[in-house]
Structure 1
Amino acid sequence: MTRVWMPPVLLVLSGAAVATGPARSGDPVTAAVLFVLFLLFAGMISPLVFPRPVTAAEARRRSAADGCPVVYWRPGCTYCLRLRLRLGRDASRLHWVDVWRDPAGAAEVRAANDGDETVPTVFVADRPHTNPDPSWVREQLPPAA
C-alpha cells in the first residue's frame, strides 16, 4: 500500500522544496502557484482519482451480475489516468482492480499479457483488452438502468 502513495507524496514534497526558493526570494505568489501545480499533479496520479478498487474475485462476481467491464489498473499509470478521465462519470460503473493491492489481479493481468503486467487491461465478457480506447470501453457498458 505504501508504494501506491509514494509517487504522490514525493511530488508534494518536491513541490514544497521547489516552492521554497521563490518564497525565500520574496515572491510568495510564484511559490504558491508552483506548490499548487505540484499538488494538482500529485492528486491526478494518486488513487483518489479512481473509484474505490475491489479485489479481482469481487470484480468478477460483480461483472457477472451487472455485465460491466473489469478494469485492472495501477496508480501512476498515465494510460490508466487517460482511461479514467476520458470515461468521466461512466468510470464509476466499471469495476476497478488495483494490481498493486491485489496479487490475484496482478496475476490475471500477467496471464492475459504474456507475463507482462500491462495496464490498463479491461476484461469484457472474460476477454482481456489491453489499453483499449476509452470510447470503445464506454460502448461496452450495458445501458444505464
Structure 2
Amino acid sequence: MTQQQGTLYWRPGCGFCARLRQGLREADIHLREVNIWEDLDAAEIVRGFANGNETVPTVVIGDRGLVNPSVKAVRKALDQADERSDR
C-alpha cells in the first residue's frame, strides 16, 4: 500500500468520484477522502480550485488542486510533490 499526502474531495452520487476512487484503490494510491456535503470547509476548498464551483472529484496535493483528474494525473502530481520534498 502506498500512503500519500493528499486529499480527495468527493460527494455521494458522483459517478466521476466513484470511478476515480476505484481507480486510485486499484493503483494502490490512498488519499484522505472528504465528503464535501458533510464538511462545509471542504466545499469551500473545492470552490477555490474549481472557479467557484463545487466540482468533484477534486484532489489537493500540497498547494495544487486537480479538478476531475485521471489516476495518471494524480500519480504524477504525487511524484512531483515527493521530488520537491526530497530537495
TM-score band w.r.t. shorter chain: 0.7 to 0.9
Match of 1:136, SS? helix
User: Structure 1: 5+ residue runs without aligned partners?
Assistant: 1-65
The residue number in structure 2 matching 1:97 is 34
C-alpha displacement of 1:67: 5.2
1:127 pairs with one of 51, 64, 75: 64
Match of 1:68, SS? strand
How many percent of aligned residue pairs carry the same amino acid?
42
The residue number in structure 2 matching 1:72 is 9
Amino acid at match of 2:57: P
The residue number in structure 2 matching 1:86 is 23
User: Structure 2: 5+ residue runs without aligned partners?
Assistant: 83-87
Amino acid at match of 1:68: Q
In terms of fraction of residues, the more helix-rich structure is 1
4+ runs of 1 displaced by more than 2 Å?
A: none
How many angstroms apart in 2 are the aligned matches of 1:112 and 1:87? 20
Larger RCO, structures 1/2 (Cα 8 Å, 6+ apart): 2
How many angstroms apart in 1 are the aligned matches of 2:49 and 2:24? 23
The residue number in structure 1 matching 2:48 is 111
Match of 2:5, SS? coil
How many angstroms apart in 1 are the aligned matches of 2:51 and 2:25? 30
Q: Which has the larger radius of gyration?
A: 1
Deviations 1:45-96 (A, max 9, x none): xxxxxxxxxxxxxxxxxxxxx75111110011011011011112525x2011
In terms of fraction of residues, the more strand-rich structure is 2
Give the TM-score normalised by structure 1: 0.47
C-alpha displacement of 1:138: 3.0
Count of paired positions: 76
How many angstroms apart in 2 are the aligned matches of 1:88 and 1:124? 17
How many angstroms apart in 2 are the aligned matches of 1:88 and 1:116? 26
Amino acid at match of 2:65: P
Give the TM-score normalised by structure 2: 0.75
Let me know the Cα RMSD of the aligned residues: 1.9
